[in-house]
Amino acid sequence: MTIILGIESSCDETGVGLVRLDGDGRLELLADEVASSVEQHARFGGVVPEVASRAHLEAMVPTMRRAFEVAGLKLSDVDAIAVTSGPGLAGALLVGVSAAKAYALSLGVPLYGANHLAGHVAADTLEHGPLPSPCLALLVSGGHSQLLRVDDLATRVTEIGSTIDDAAGEAYDKVARVLGLPYPGGPPIDRAAQRGNPRAIAFPRGLTGPRDAEYDFSFSGLKTAVARWVEARERDGEEVPLDDVAASFQEAVADVLTAKAVRAAERFDIGTMVVSGGVAANSRIKALAAERCAAAGITLRVPKPRLCTDNGAMVAALGAHLVAAGVEPSSLDLSATPGLPVSTVSV
Ligand code: KG4
Ligand code: ZN
């Protein structure tokens, strides 16, 4: 039995997770404590890196204490530490990496610099057990929109496609701003969309033309189309039908994400799809993914929203997979790598 401590600080969430790995490779979640600085960024309409770093510094030790309290464990119970070393904001990552190094050195336990994106996929194993190999991961958050082929969560993750401009969550946040809705924009747009007509406005589906990259995404054109549509209405002195705009925008995002993910699963003959990241909490994306996966005979796995957004438990889970696979730990001169490629699961 092994206790793994996971530390996350790549964006605006300070996360500390504790996971128990048993002899059969099964994981048990013991604690998942998160401190968010999202409210400090709200008036800027997006994450301010310097504010995020400072908030991590303030939250790290209290969040750590809470996690150990919830799990009923002591620091000396920890057998290994995993920390997000990338991708993410440099200053924010550094806080977690520095803390993890200090704990690893003082406790004399192995340290794993872990990839945040593989962590999002690992989160699902806490809820639904081991992943079949291969599986397809659709990762949609404020910073990323990616399609990944996962042959082995600890060692073999390959990118099939990614966004060439805005991430899906970023598009939600920017469209929310255009509509006068608060940041982060995903939840209020999702709510408004449920009252609107998804077929009211035909917004463009990015990169779905015959000559476009099959598995890449683009949301920047969609975001601009929504802004132009709203501006034109306002210029004409007409009321903006907020619910219909939200529903039509959401339909375009959900349509493109799920169509490309299902097409990739079929093309590569992959029978299981995992959808994770903050945007995976979206009601329409979940419903359309369920509908299209069922029609294609694909098993769909979506972790509960708490595990979809950034947290330390997902990093601890990935750490457990690294320990179980016998992956070499990182050295203590581990540094933060803001642009860490998804294929580098641990550094
Ligand atoms: O994974 P996450 O917590 O942090 C990042 O790594 O970015 O994702 C945050 C993103 C934000 O852009 C937020 O607007 C979006 O997830 N989001 C949603 C929903 N809930 C959160 N987007 C669409 N629908 C939702 N229900
Ligand atoms: Zn994330």
Of 10, 141, 144, 163, best ligand 1 pocket probe by most atoms within 8 Å of the beta carbon: 141
User: How many alpha carbons fall within 13 Å on the CB side of residue 282?
Assistant: 35
Report CA dihedral (207, 212, 216, 217) to the nearest 10 degrees.
-10
d(CA 39, CA 183): 9
Q: Which atom of ligand 1 is nearest to the CA of 173?
A: 14
CB 331 within 8 A of CB 101: no
| Ligand 1 proximity of 277 Cβ (cutoff 6 Å) | yes
Per-residue pLDDT at 335: 96
Each residue of 264-302: pLDDT tens digit? Answer: 999 999 999 999 999 999 999 999 999 999 999 999 999
H-type alpha helices, the chain: 38-41, 49-71, 90-107, 116-128, 168-178, 186-193, 220-235, 242-267, 283-296, 305-308, 312-324
Per-residue pLDDT at 240: 96
Q: Which atom of ligand 1 is nearest to the CA of 277?
A: 1
Residue ranges near ligand 2 (ion) with Cβ within 5 Å: 141, 310
Residues 6+ apart with CB under 8 A from 108: none
Strand order in the sheet with 27-36: 27-36, 13-21, 2-8, 80-86, 111-115
| Beta bridge pairs of residue 113 | 83
| Ligand 1 proximity of 119 Cβ (cutoff 6 Å) | no
Q: CA angle, 236 as apex, 230 and 241 as ends, to 5°?
A: 40
User: How many alpha carbons fall within 13 Å on the CB side of residue 230?
Assistant: 22
Each residue of 233-273: pLDDT tens digit? Answer: 999 999 999 999 999 999 999 999 999 999 999 999 999 99
| Ligand 1 proximity of 134 Cβ (cutoff 6 Å) | no
Task: Return phi, psi of residue 278, to 5°.
Answer: -55, -35
Closest CA to ligand 1's atom 23: 186
| Ligand 1 proximity of 282 Cβ (cutoff 6 Å) | yes
Give residue 229 CA to ligand 2 midpoint distance, Å: 30
Structure tokens at 112: 């794993």
Supply the pTM of this predicted model.
Answer: 0.95
Per-residue pLDDT at 44 exceeds 90: no
Give residue 143 CA to ligand 2 midpoint distance, Å: 7
Per-residue pLDDT at 211: 75
Q: From the CA of 121, which ligand is nearest? A: 2
Closest CA to ligand 1's atom 8: 278
Each residue of 103-152: pLDDT tens digit? Answer: 999 999 999 999 999 999 999 999 999 999 999 999 999 888 999 999 99
CB 162 within 8 A of CB 141: no
| Ligand 1 proximity of 11 Cβ (cutoff 6 Å) | yes
| Ligand 1 proximity of 143 Cβ (cutoff 6 Å) | yes
Closest CA to ligand 1's atom 26: 282
**Nearest residue to 223 (alpha-carbon basis) of 277, 261, 276, 185:** 185
Q: From the CA of 8, which ligand is nearest? A: 2
Give residue 342 CA to ligand 2 midpoint distance, Å: 12
CB 190 within 8 A of CB 282: yes
Per-residue pLDDT at 45 exceeds 90: no
d(CA 125, CA 342): 18
The pLDDT confidence band at residue 93, using thresholds 50, 70 and 90, is very high
| Ligand 1 proximity of 248 Cβ (cutoff 6 Å) | no
